[in-house]
A = this chain, B = another copy of it.
């Protein structure tokens, strides 16, 4: 296996935020940012919890970071050695993403000689509450050394603090810090138990928000002194059990278990590419991230837009999950995909409440969905750089396409797994109620024969409040069609459940409504040039280049959209919109139309969203333009490997990992380059590999069977 290693071999403090994302480890229950052991909140340290939210005061509601049980530093002859304060002699930070291990090695030059620390840690993939760390110190001279390690409850927050109460405690060799949130009184407990393989004076030091253990010893030259820590995070919201007492566990045992778990994951998910190491590396790095954040063995949980890399975007679940991530899980570990959808089923009440808030029927899923489907987005989601005022944006109220994405995700799951049981477990209601929501958006002019949808924000968020967004209308039609089809399936498969459904919705009337809507809705056709207008009036907007629009910025952090942003009244768009529609409904359009639209829209796209490049890449694949697709694929696959992603929307920090981009890269690789698609219930492979790719092989789960795909040049083979 090619080395699956990300490494940085010198210290650069400007990279601290980026490295926090790039070197992330996680196990779906939490993510641990790739910060160093001695860091604290100033350096965006976080053990970011999945699905635990809190609101502090009037600020945005966001996910919660646990007390950090990894906080560790070294004192030598009374002087503390820590980054970034003390310049190192040498420094290496490494992510072994084959094994899910974070490593670092740092040397400092002291008056008397060189000291070295090495540390390895991991978020256990076999026991979801556990983190393990092995920390080693040595010096090339005799010295008085002290390793300080413990739990730091003074955590980094964007809109915190969330812990209104913090309790520290010690019990035998186990220390603990319990933070309790203000809004819902949720407790988040970090415990640690640290042991040394050498003789040391041990003391415990309990602060208001911290508890540390000090290991003091005289270090002999050249001898290694290692401590091992087992830490555990739990919350009062846990729906699964804690595995064992941490003082009974050993680092080496946990490490072996953990690596075995990763081996199992890679067995199904690894993609091998011959002839393009860089692509193989980036693609598998993307897959690594998707695995770090997958809610394995959890109930009804989904994935935040920035994964588990922090509180950006409020730790909320976006349409990203169903559009860009779920495909990977459907075809590697379908039970994870079901967990993601179960989250939508479980949170339908939140979507119903949101629909009701806007006077709509049915279910309107949140743009930023938190627990229970609570809409985390405020009406003021961007801060104006010129006035420092919150700007009234329409992400929350007008991105109606989110509900359709949920239905689209359900259908991908059903088609990919053949598992219709989800319909009987709540998905049928989701589909019908999403259709009801779209129905209540349908408008007809007094003297026109078709339904329109007005005043929406499509995927391209730079143009707010537009009419008949081609994407949104098409997705609404998809939902109507799907609801009709699935009601028939439901009736055939679950005759015993049909009465309850009929009592609830009135199926005859519902079907009539769906038929009328599906037939009546306005679907925009390509114009004389073959181009589908993104929305009513788009072609009348100023037609200038992305660079021209960028050159009009007065402030680099200025928001491009809204009513007056530099892009708002031009044809420059943020991300794939018509292109997304074409990729998703490729069978409705000729390759010629797809190519013409790619050629029109791609140069007008800023790719200001990580959801953009992969969609265009996929569209290019569908038109046979593999070489056009390739750089866009690489951009997607390398979203977290390359420094300098978009980190600001107005004055709001939006950095973090980009799982949608990573999921999108997987889709391009599998559905685009490898040309995997479904035909009459069977997988087919019509590959069109990039020029350098000699071969490509991977496994794929489809309808309960694990298939092997082997592609050599233009020849694809599917076996099992």
Contact = CB atoms under 8 A, between A and B. Distances in A.
Given A446-B451, A564-B392, A387 B439 contact: no
Interface string A362-391: 000000000000000001000010110101
Contacts of A562: 563-564
Nearest to A393: B563
Contacts of A446: 439-440, 442-444, 451, 516-517, 520
Nearest to A438: B446
Contacts of A379: 569
Contact of A387 (B447, B465, B517, B554): B554
Contact of A445 (B443, B455, B465): B443
30 contacts: A379-B569, A386-B386, A386-B387, A391-B563, A391-B564, A392-B563, A392-B568, A439-B446, A439-B447, A440-B445, A440-B446, A442-B445, A442-B446, A443-B443, A443-B444, A443-B445, A443-B454, A444-B446, A446-B451, A446-B516, A446-B517, A446-B520, A447-B513, A454-B454, A454-B455, A455-B455, A562-B563, A562-B564, A563-B563, A563-B564
Nearest to A464: B563
Interface string A446-488: 1100010011000000000100000000000000000000000
Given A440-B445, A446-B451, 5 more contacts: A386-B387, A389-B564, A439-B447, A443-B446, A447-B513
Contacts of A564: 384, 387, 389, 391-392, 562-564
Contacts of A517: 446
A353 to B, nearest CB: 16
B392 A569 contact: yes
Interface in A382-435: 384, 386-387, 389, 391-392
A365 B573 CA distance: 33
Contacts of A554: 387
A436 B709 CA distance: 63
Contacts of A516: 446
Contacts of A465: 465
A554 B384 CA distance: 13
A445 B443 CA distance: 4
A444 B443 CA distance: 5
Interface in A696-716: none
A517 B445 CA distance: 12
A480 to B, nearest CB: 11
Interface string A504-538: 00000000010011001000000000000000000
A446 to B, nearest CB: 4
A551 to B, nearest CB: 13
Contacts of A387: 386, 554, 564
Nearest to A552: B389
Contacts of A439: 446-447
A568 B387 CA distance: 15
Contacts of A520: 446
A548 to B, nearest CB: 14
The 5 closest A-B pairs by CB, nearest first: A563-B563, A442-B446, A386-B386, A443-B443, A444-B444
Given A392-B563, A569-B392, A440 B444 contact: no
Given A392-B564, A563-B563, A568-B392, A440 B447 contact: yes
A569 B390 CA distance: 11
Interface in A13-52: none
Q: Counting chain B CB atoms within 10 Å of each CB, which of A392, A442, A554, A564 scores highest? A: A564
A384 B384 CA distance: 13
